[in-house]
Structure 1
Amino acid sequence: MSFTVISLGGPVAPEGEEMLKAAGITSLATKPYPSKAETVDLLSTTQADAIIVRLVERVDEEILRASPKLKLVHKHGAGTNDIDVAAAKSLGIPVLAAVGANAHSVAEHALALIFALIKDMRRQDAFVRGGGWANKSYQGHELRGRKLGLVGMGLIGRNLARMAGAIGMTVEAYDPYAPDEAFGPECGRAADLDALLASSDVVSLHCPLTEQTRNLINARTLGLMKPGALLINTARGEVVDEVALTEALRDGVIAGAGLDTFSPEPPASDNPLWQLDTVVVSPHVGGVTEEARREVSLITCANVIALLRGDEVPPRFFVRG
């Protein structure tokens, strides 16, 4: 039996494409962020058996219904906020995610943003490119001895905790859902989020987007942070109230922000954050290093092939509705 898989937002890594081809599966891909009309038309025309979700605004019920042969939806990554999981569940369509495949990559990216901010790299790069050299106004700092507060203690948070500890930072994390074994000598468990925000020199977000975490970082919570504190977001843009963050940065409520995610994505070209030299940004690439993309693709394609064939897939990859 032949199957058709549609990758929304670009193809998977070449190794994944080879896996699909070897399994006799027809693999098609759209451009990044295809329109809803384009997506529905393609799924309907091809009678797709599976969707791989990469870069797309949202996979909603209408898209899920476009192909009556649709058997599964697989996120090419870990976060599934761009998929209507409840609608998929109601239609009997399983949703899966490549949990943990890019955790090390995202943790490294968060650390890179922290370094860029603490060492004032954005302004120093512009200074030298502009012909400057002896910059007596440089006020870079060390991370050693500073406190990193993690919001979320999944695999990404655990990786970053180990990295930060090796540098000499003290680390504490808030995650009411994480098991006790997620914490240890390199990371203490915070019982209260507000207290963690108030005591940390760097706050790094690694929580999923839920109704409880939407705008978790807002005017009130930003006001709890130290004036010299840094905020890092490699989670989801909607976890941070961007308007409140912009005002907090302008007013000196906090010292800087490193952002890999935004709301919406892609962000507007006139986003006021672009005017602030205390902000370092990247286009949601924390989890798409060549190594991570390959690993995510291999896990995703292996799961897709297994489910289409009726084989067993490890429970950890299934997303609960």
Structure 2
Amino acid sequence: MKILVTDPISNSGIKLLQNSGFELIYETNLEKNDILKFIESIDAWIVRSGTQVTKELINKAQNLRVIGRAGVGVDNIDIITSTSKGVVVMNTPDGNTISAAEHTIAMICSLSRNIHFSHIDLVKGNWNRHTFLGVELRDKILGIIGLGRIGLEVAHRATSFGMKVIGYDPYVNEKILKEKNITAVELDQLTKESDFVSLHVPLIESTKYLFDYDRFKMMKKTSRIINVARGGLLNETDLAKALNSNIIAGAAIDVFENEPIKKNNPLLNAKNILLTPHLGASTLEAKEGVSISICKQVVNYLKNEEMGNAINMPLADMGVLKRISTYIKLAETIGSIQRQLSSGAVKAIYVDCYGSIEESKTILLSFIRGLLNDIVDGGVNFINANFIAKERGIKTSHSYKNKEIPFSNLIMTKVETDTETVTLSGCVYGKNLYRIVDIMGFELDMKPEGNMLFMQNKDVPGVIGKVGSILGENKVNIGEYLLSRTSKNDIAYAVVKLDCKLESHIIESLQNLDEILKIHQLKL
């Protein structure tokens, strides 16, 4: 069997592959056409962030069984095509944690004492020691947005400087944070009170441009912002404007919306800024760790079908996997919907399976992946799902029940947060079709896809007309309007499928209708 490596990994990783008994093809910096020369005969493929593992390449690799990503992010790998072709995708979610946390602290220290500016000035022949007046970190407030592994490691290190740590992460149990001397606050409060703000969240639709000019204006004039997480979390043009207008005191940025950055990037000419070229994971230890880990995982899979840190495969039995693959997709989809419907920190998850789907543990793991994957730095896979839930103080429960149901199969889920309980159920029709059949006790038949509004409203005449009028006035086309009522006949639940995402002022207009009780905008 052959293993192709197309991005640089450590010598220890290469040696491990060479001693595995498999044929090693180690070719880096290849263009797409060069990769095509090797792809047809390989059984495994190891990459970092440089290689784009596209649908075309995966389809050409007829013998490919596993793709290993030496690192966390898998944005450069086509997961959907990999899964459809039966190719396992693995990553190494823990390998970069310490390096990223330490780089964050290094950026904070450099900003607070003007180390980079004073160095540049000194090598020019100047001695302006009084120009570069810094600030102590002791007693300063560090606001951490995103309290996964990296965020918590940053908090741990910051407390050793005597900093007060406040944090925003709506998906972490507040009790867990208290045990780590972190005060949970809302995002606006964190923005206004922090002396340093550090970002540690994944880039998803809800975090895109989380910090824009309006939010920068909410910060103290003496505050500084650090981003070692993902490019696109802050608007770079707005950040440059905020710095040049003295809205905030400084920024340290390691990741960018487009990498490598172009010469006309506004941050290059901004005041009081420290830039590094995506060095968060660039340490000998991190490179060594992720290289050895992914090489071991790939070799163990080829030899024993062990799925360490599998992103897309929960079972070693491929026959079972193929049989329940649609149920897995349904469970992940329900998890994603639950995440967008639920407010507050998740305290407990319950998953019950009925009918022809008996693998309740696998369904639970798939549900957790859908619920938490977009909000956890490093992502959730079928190996770490239970651990991540436990780490965040989430109680989990799953069961198979043989009670009679009006469907051939059913996945029932319940999420309890510190403010509410949300229930959602779905079932599979045929081989590849699935539907949501119950939301909060309201029965309906809904294919979950695209842009949607989930609404609870008073069950009175005229609601559909008022909603339709507001959407029509804003030139928003309705694809489908699904309505469910209960026997009590006082509240109705509606799912409205739309052709586009609604702007905030349209949502506000809908919320202002007396008949609307709750409204959520979702995207799948």
TM (norm. structure 2) is 0.56
Tell me the equivalent position of 1:125: 119
- State the secondary structure of the residue aligned to 2:93: coil
Partner Cα distance (2:173, 2:24) in 1:
39
Asked if 1:290 corresponds to 2:261, the answer is: no
Tell me the equivalent position of 1:19: 16
- State the secondary structure of the residue aligned to 2:144: strand
Tell me the equivalent position of 1:204: 198
Question: Percent of counterpart pairs with the same letter?
Answer: 31
Query: 1:206 and 1:63, CA in 2 relative to 1: closer, same or farther beyond 3 A?
Result: farther
CA contact (8 A) 2:90 2:308 kept: no
- State the secondary structure of the residue aligned to 1:150: strand
Tell me the equivalent position of 2:305: 311
Partner Cα distance (1:177, 1:270) in 2:
37
Of 266, 270, 273, which residue of structure 1 is paired with 2:264? 270
Q: Deviations over 1:233-266 (max 9, x none)?
A: 1111122221222222222222211111112111
CA contact (8 A) 2:88 2:311 kept: no
Displacement of 1:217 = 2.1
Displacement of 1:192 = 1.8
Query: 1:149 and 1:22, CA in 2 relative to 1: closer, same or farther beyond 3 A?
Result: same
CA contact (8 A) 1:151 1:204 kept: yes
Query: 1:224 and 1:52, CA in 2 relative to 1: closer, same or farther beyond 3 A?
Result: farther
Q: Deviations over 1:41-73 (max 9, x none)?
A: 24535x322232313264332233231222222
Tell me the equivalent position of 2:56: 62
Of 92, 98, 101, which residue of structure 2 is paired with 1:107? 101
CA contact (8 A) 2:309 2:381 kept: no
- State the secondary structure of the residue aligned to 1:239: coil
Tell me the equivalent position of 2:165: 171
Tell me the equivalent position of 2:3: 4
Partner Cα distance (1:283, 1:198) in 2:
29
CA contact (8 A) 1:106 1:287 kept: yes
Query: 1:271 and 1:168, CA in 2 relative to 1: closer, same or farther beyond 3 A?
Result: same
- Quick one: which amino acid aligns to residue 203 of structure 2? L
- Quick one: which amino acid aligns to residue 145 of structure 1? D
Query: 1:26 and 1:207, CA in 2 relative to 1: closer, same or farther beyond 3 A?
Result: farther
CA contact (8 A) 1:198 1:225 kept: yes
Report the structure number with the largest CA radius of gyration. Answer: 2
How big is the alpha-carbon RMSD for the aligned residues of Structure 1 and Structure 2? 2.4
Of 245, 250, 259, which residue of structure 2 is paired with 1:251? 245
Of 89, 94, 117, which residue of structure 1 is paired with 2:83? 89
Partner Cα distance (1:213, 1:72) in 2:
31
- Which structure is higher in RCO with an 8 Å CA cutoff and minimum separation 6? 1
Query: 1:166 and 1:210, CA in 2 relative to 1: closer, same or farther beyond 3 A?
Result: same
TM (norm. structure 1) is 0.89
Partner Cα distance (1:114, 1:212) in 2:
26
CA contact (8 A) 2:143 2:195 kept: yes
- Quick one: which amino acid aligns to residue 44 of structure 1? I
CA contact (8 A) 1:5 1:25 kept: no
Query: 1:316 and 1:204, CA in 2 relative to 1: closer, same or farther beyond 3 A?
Result: farther
Q: Deviations over 1:73-118 (max 9, x none)?
A: 2221112233333343333322222111121111110110111111
Partner Cα distance (2:214, 2:248) in 1:
12
Of 210, 223, 231, which residue of structure 2 is paired with 1:229? 223
Displacement of 1:227 = 1.7
Of 36, 48, 65, which residue of structure 2 is paired with 1:71? 65
Partner Cα distance (1:173, 1:309) in 2:
44
Q: Deviations over 1:152-188 (max 9, x none)?
A: 1121111111100000001122222335575244442
- Quick one: which amino acid aligns to residue 21 of structure 1? Q
CA contact (8 A) 2:5 2:28 kept: no
Q: Deviations over 1:264-305 (max 9, x none)?
A: 111113322122341111111211200111111111111111
Q: Give 1:214-225 correspondences, 5 Å limit.
A: 214-225=208-219
Deviates more, 1:215-224 or 1:252-261: 215-224
- State the secondary structure of the residue aligned to 1:167: coil
Aligned length: 315
Partner Cα distance (1:86, 1:180) in 2:
35
Q: Deviations over 1:130-161 (max 9, x none)?
A: 22224322221111111111111121111111
Partner Cα distance (1:38, 1:244) in 2:
40
Moved over 6 A (4+): none
Tell me the equivalent position of 1:299: 293
Asked if 1:146 corresponds to 2:140, the answer is: yes
Query: 1:207 and 1:316, CA in 2 relative to 1: closer, same or farther beyond 3 A?
Result: farther
- Quick one: which amino acid aligns to residue 85 of structure 1? I
- State the secondary structure of the residue aligned to 1:183: helix
Query: 1:82 and 1:315, CA in 2 relative to 1: closer, same or farther beyond 3 A?
Result: closer
CA contact (8 A) 2:311 2:381 kept: no
Partner Cα distance (1:88, 1:94) in 2:
7
Tell me the equivalent position of 2:505: none
CA contact (8 A) 2:244 2:271 kept: no
Unmatched 5+ stretches in structure 1: none
Displacement of 1:29 = 4.1
Partner Cα distance (2:248, 2:51) in 1:
31
- State the secondary structure of the residue aligned to 2:232: helix
